[in-house]
Structure 1
Amino acid sequence: MSTIIDSSPPLTSKDRAAFATTARLLSCLVTESLARAVYYPLTGFEATGICVILSGNAAVDKPLYQSQDILAVIPLSQVPIFKHDGTDHRGREIGLLDPLDMMKFVFEIPNGEGLKTDAMAEHSDLIDAILSALASPGWAVSTTTLTLSQSPTSIWSKFADAISLESALSMDIASELESAVKWQKYSYEHPPQAPLFESSSVEWEQSIVEGHPTHPMHKTRRFLPPLQDLSPGSIDLYHPQLRFVSVPRENLKITYEFEELVRPLVDAASKAADALIEIPEGHVVIPVHELQVVHIHDKFSDAIIYPEKFSIPLLAQQSIRSVIVPNVYREHSLKLGVGIKLTSAVRTISPESAYLGPRFSAKVVPALNMDQNVVTVAKELASVVHAHSNGEIAKHCAAIVREAHENTSEERGERLIVCTALVESGHSGCDGHLPAVIRVFNLDTERKKVEWLDKFVDVFFKAFLPSMLTNGVAFECHPQNCVARFDIKTKVLKGFIIRDFGGLRVHPATLRETTGIELDFIEGHSIVAPDLEDVYTRMYHTVIHNHLQQLIRVLGLHYNGLGWAIVRRHLEAHIPRDHALYAAWLSPDRKTFPGKCFLRMRMSGMYRFHLHGPFPNLIHYCGVNME
């Protein structure tokens, strides 16, 4: 695949951040079918074509599209994936638009003639070509120029107004988009050091530059009241302090040996302070994130908050709320409730999750059809959550003790790398502009990339398909939850660690039939699937649409179809033809598959329960030439 060279001047960190969020917003609007988009090819430009995104109320049968019907115009560096059943005679309708399809700027229709800036003059030939395309039959566009989009909020506001979205919700989403831009700008200006293969697991966890590849709130950081809003640079979320509170035992729901597992933390804090943590009779000590102390004080009058001198330094993983405790915990880690909204969810721990995790680990995991040499489940060993009658309050006082394999990996001859970090680029240091997977594994030819991906996909499916095929259990295998295990000497992939049970999908009847185990959960928990098709839907999103798609694109094996050919071959090898999953994923008739709709969910106030829409089935994608 030839490399597309963008000869335009480098963008400022502010412009880069605005584009990063805008691109994800537009990706969701199109792929979730919230806004329709048509494609026009171009010749003689670095852009292969343009994507014209229409306002949410622009009906396909409207005779003429006018200026006000256009939400944005994006020059594309590559041809996107089209709908198989598009009906717009003006151009091919786009079914899946990815930020990596796009060139690094977006045009809008100005509210007048627009400003003739130097930047616009630089794109004058491209603008003329776009306006020429918009003079085709079916268009009645009156503008004589375009303007460069400066912020995702301008596009969002136009979309929200067009569909008459409730004003308060529209403004709330706009503020989250602004937060994403603000924190992304800081990340660009203060990039992490490019991790090496020899770097520690936590260094890889903390090497994230952009985060989620398609979520519009990919870098959003909203500190919920009574926390004050914190600006980038004013707090180091990767190096927080562990604080302690105590609550009467009768006001807590404790699962398994939580107190025993937390005791080393209490001892370490007492030693560091040279004073004992006084625990009243009948109270239980709970470790909490330093930012959560304000929430504890605000919401739980029964809690005793210990002075700041009883603190322990932490190293946070990518999720911010999962932390390791250096020099105290060797084989354990903590998952802490934190009242911060990252992407779509507040990072607290619900009573349902606190209840399920340790029970699922102890009872279900050992019985699953899983190759222990290929996949390791990071079990949740014990938990605590407040017994407050309102779960939305209780979730602010909760903690989970989880197995940690990071500190002992070198003893097993393994290097652990969280999969999200493999596809990141934009680091400081030597060759930091390259995606980590290409730089660290020296994938400097197409053949090397194909061979590396072939191994990855084979081991990945060996790790995560059996429990779904046999037991009806789908782990949430997106890149943040998956840690790859590489041989420390040869760099060969050995397997994976899977962590976090919040996004599980389990069909209880199939689990019971194949293991004899009855799933123990709180009624109404979002992990319960009504049927196996629902399990397959969750797995498709995390494995195909999210995890493998981004990896394939970063490796340069998407547009030529090579990456998806590898996926198809391994799926056919791992899924029996008479299994329902084969028909669900591999049938030629499955042109689309239900995809998780981040923006629709946000507009509906959902995050635990998913909304799905018909996305093009990537498993069948054969490359641009076939498109």
Structure 2
Amino acid sequence: MHRPSAAEAEFADELAAVRPDLGSRYAAELPGARAAVLSRLWRALTHEPLPWVTGRAAGRDGLTLRLADGRRLHGPHPDPYATAAYVTAVRLDEVAYDDPARLMTALGVPHGTDFAAELGDSVASSALSRAGQGPHTKEWPVYDWEWEQRVVDGHPFHPNCRSRPGFSVAEQLAYGPEHRPLVRLGFVPVPADECLVTGEWPDDMRDGARLLLSVHPWQAEHVLKRPYEAGCDAHPLMSLRTLAVPGGPHVKTALSTRLTSSVRDISVYSITLSATLSAFAEALAARTDGLLHTTRTLSAATANSPDLAAVLRESPQTYTAPGERVLPVAALATTELPDSPAWLAEFTRLALTVGLRLLDLGVALEAHGQNLLVVLSATGAPLRLVYRDLADIRVSPVRLARHGIPVPELTGRIVTDDETTLRRKLFGSLVAGALAGTAGSAAALREALETAVRDLPHTPDLVVLREQPLPTKALTLMRLSPGTPGDQWTGLPNPLR
């Protein structure tokens, strides 16, 4: 019998106190959650440039990794684009491991102890998320937030897919979108002359000479540690810190904890650029012949602190007609789609047409399954795309000028003319992320890409996409390299070759 990890046992104890009715379901979901996280970890071990993996050798029964200390790690043949939990155990020398946290501990690599704790938390949180979901009905959700709350397992390829350090079980149940709660947003009053504001802050979020900044209740309790006024009820979306106000905007709040890989605050830099980026993106989307809309930033404000800031954005439902549905690409896996291979090819063609056109013009979207949404017809046909959250796009002044497009007044990390950086941003998020996560396997992704690229303009970017390894963030290497700032990358086998 499997001995529960520390995180699994801690979650079980907390669950017994706050939701004993979920205890048996949580226990039943643990094996599947371990396999899901272990499959993601095996993908990283087999494809990322980890310095302590010195060789990889494929055999008839799987793949063997040679480690720097002479040990051997053996597992199944990897599929870097698989989303199914296909790895139930790997063998380190003669010992089999079905628990990713125990495997990472046994590997004994630098910074592996902290990462092992995150993996244990990811497993336990995944099991809790699965336990809290009932079966999906065949009826399509009406509201965009309902689609978002169907996404249970988080990032399709990150071992920390559900890691939420600092969140108790009770807090995950109260704030996690997959548990379908209503979250009472708070307001923190701040003198207006102490705030940086872009756009028009709403009158109903003012109190005389003070702005009422939206704050997540977890942030207020654990980070700000100050009283706040009761705001409105809202539905949490996939990112946890962004919530949909019924009949109103989406509110992005600061949430200063590490979710998956990054600490989720809102930088003063992003607030400063938000209005300029929103107007620029709206103008650029108009060049896609109606295939893309970007959700406008209505207003943004910060108390000159990344821990106390908020962004108000349009709801993606603004861009739907009667009978249509808009949903994050990550939620596509939660519904039945007509004629799956043909549908996937058509969706892939739509996504690549838009992504490559914008890249050629000079903008690389971070079009992963959370930022990129698709509008479906009543019959399920992919009609157009919606993109949200412009904070991590990349803009090339040289490419914009080549097309006679006025260069916006932008500074900092968003601005780059480096071809590799631009292509990594789009290909890593869209192809290795959103499209691969929707396809679910190398074979399905290959078939969709081969069909989709036939009619695309033969640009230099498309040539690179077809002929070079597919870039993706080396997410595990990044977690094991806390002293190395910024993104690190690896190349995956190109499905088109």
How much has 1:604 moved relative to structure 2?
Answer: 2.6
**Using the alignment, how far apart are the partners of 2:204 and 2:65 within structure 1?**
56
**Do the aligned partners of residues 33 and 607 (structure 1) sit closer, same or farther apart at CA in structure 2, a change above 3 Å counting?**
closer
**Using the alignment, how far apart are the partners of 2:287 and 2:260 within structure 1?**
31
Structure with more contact order per residue of length (Cα contacts < 8 Å, sep ≥ 6): 2
Aligned mate of 2:337, from 441, 453, 458: 441
**Do the aligned partners of residues 360 and 582 (structure 1) sit closer, same or farther apart at CA in structure 2, a change above 3 Å counting?**
same
**Using the alignment, how far apart are the partners of 1:505 and 1:607 within structure 2?**
21
**Using the alignment, how far apart are the partners of 1:539 and 1:403 within structure 2?**
23
How much has 1:415 moved relative to structure 2?
Answer: 1.0
Q: TM-score of the superposition, structure 1-length normalised?
A: 0.68
How much has 1:233 moved relative to structure 2?
Answer: 5.6
Determine the structure 2 residue equivalent to 1:371: 288
Determine the structure 2 residue equivalent to 1:297: 224
Determine the structure 2 residue equivalent to 1:531: 418
How much has 1:498 moved relative to structure 2?
Answer: 0.9
Residues 417-449 of structure 1: CA distance to partner in whole angstroms, max 9, x if unpaired? Answer: 22111124xxxxxxxxxxx2xxx225xxxxx32
**Do the aligned partners of residues 106 and 170 (structure 1) sit closer, same or farther apart at CA in structure 2, a change above 3 Å counting?**
closer
Structure showing the higher helix proportion among its residues:
2
Map 1:214-229 onto structure 2 (within 5 A). Answer: 214-223=157-166, 229=168
1:508 and 1:529 in contact (8 A); partners too: yes
Secondary structure, counterpart of 1:613 in structure 2: strand
Determine the structure 2 residue equivalent to 1:487: 377
Secondary structure, counterpart of 1:339 in structure 2: strand
Aligned length: 463
Map 1:24-43 onto structure 2 (within 5 A). Answer: 24-34=40-50, 35=53, 36-41=55-60
1:314 and 1:325 in contact (8 A); partners too: yes
Residues 475-504 of structure 1: CA distance to partner in whole angstroms, max 9, x if unpaired? Answer: 11111112111112x222211111111331
**Using the alignment, how far apart are the partners of 2:107 and 2:71 within structure 1?**
10
Secondary structure, counterpart of 1:187 in structure 2: helix
**Do the aligned partners of residues 153 and 80 (structure 1) sit closer, same or farther apart at CA in structure 2, a change above 3 Å counting?**
closer
How much has 1:98 moved relative to structure 2?
Answer: 4.6
Determine the structure 2 residue equivalent to 1:104: 88
Residues 25-45 of structure 1: CA distance to partner in whole angstroms, max 9, x if unpaired? Answer: 12112111323432221xxxx
The answer to whether the aligner puts 1:16 opposite 2:28 as a matched pair is no
Determine the structure 1 residue equivalent to 2:107: 159
Determine the structure 1 residue equivalent to 2:112: 170
How much has 1:603 moved relative to structure 2?
Answer: 2.3
**Using the alignment, how far apart are the partners of 2:105 and 2:205 within structure 1?**
48
**Do the aligned partners of residues 571 and 533 (structure 1) sit closer, same or farther apart at CA in structure 2, a change above 3 Å counting?**
farther
How much has 1:371 moved relative to structure 2?
Answer: 2.1
Q: Counterpart amino acid of 1:155?
A: L
**Using the alignment, how far apart are the partners of 1:306 and 1:221 within structure 2?**
24
Aligned mate of 1:452, from 343, 349, 369: 343
Q: TM-score of the superposition, structure 2-length normalised?
A: 0.85
How much has 1:231 moved relative to structure 2?
Answer: 5.2
**Do the aligned partners of residues 441 and 566 (structure 1) sit closer, same or farther apart at CA in structure 2, a change above 3 Å counting?**
closer
1:322 and 1:336 in contact (8 A); partners too: yes
Map 1:338-487 onto structure 2 (within 5 A). Answer: 338-367=255-284, 370-387=287-304, 394-406=305-317, 409=320, 411-424=321-334, 436=335, 440-442=336-338, 448-469=339-360, 471-487=361-377
Secondary structure, counterpart of 1:399 in structure 2: strand
Gaps of 5+ in 2: 1-26
Determine the structure 1 residue equivalent to 2:460: 580
Map 1:540-579 onto structure 2 (within 5 A). Answer: 540-553=427-440, 558-559=442-443, 563-576=445-458, 579=459
**Using the alignment, how far apart are the partners of 1:606 and 1:422 within structure 2?**
36
**Using the alignment, how far apart are the partners of 1:364 and 1:233 within structure 2?**
34
**Using the alignment, how far apart are the partners of 1:150 and 1:454 within structure 2?**
35
1:22 and 1:216 in contact (8 A); partners too: yes
Determine the structure 1 residue equivalent to 2:124: 182
Determine the structure 2 residue equivalent to 1:427: none
2:187 and 2:215 in contact (8 A); partners too: yes
Determine the structure 1 residue equivalent to 2:494: 617
**Do the aligned partners of residues 604 and 107 (structure 1) sit closer, same or farther apart at CA in structure 2, a change above 3 Å counting?**
closer
Residues 540-566 of structure 1: CA distance to partner in whole angstroms, max 9, x if unpaired? Answer: 111221122222236xxx43xx64244
- Structure with larger Rg: 1
Map 1:488-507 onto structure 2 (within 5 A). Answer: 488=378, 490-507=379-396
**Using the alignment, how far apart are the partners of 1:247 and 1:295 within structure 2?**
19
1:195 and 1:207 in contact (8 A); partners too: no
Gaps of 5+ in 1: 1-10, 42-48, 59-67, 82-95, 110-145, 267-278, 299-303, 388-393, 425-435, 443-447, 621-627
Secondary structure, counterpart of 1:416 in structure 2: strand
**Using the alignment, how far apart are the partners of 2:457 and 2:437 within structure 1?**
23
The answer to whether the aligner puts 1:322 opposite 2:242 as a matched pair is yes
How much has 1:296 moved relative to structure 2?
Answer: 5.7
Q: Counterpart amino acid of 2:57?
A: V
Residues 27-67 of structure 1: CA distance to partner in whole angstroms, max 9, x if unpaired? Answer: 112111323432221xxxxxxx3222332x15xxxxxxxxx
Determine the structure 1 residue equivalent to 2:254: 337
Q: Counterpart amino acid of 1:602?
A: R
**Do the aligned partners of residues 541 and 616 (structure 1) sit closer, same or farther apart at CA in structure 2, a change above 3 Å counting?**
same
**Using the alignment, how far apart are the partners of 1:608 and 1:422 within structure 2?**
33
The answer to whether the aligner puts 1:199 opposite 2:141 as a matched pair is yes
Q: Counterpart amino acid of 1:218?
A: C
**Do the aligned partners of residues 244 and 101 (structure 1) sit closer, same or farther apart at CA in structure 2, a change above 3 Å counting?**
closer
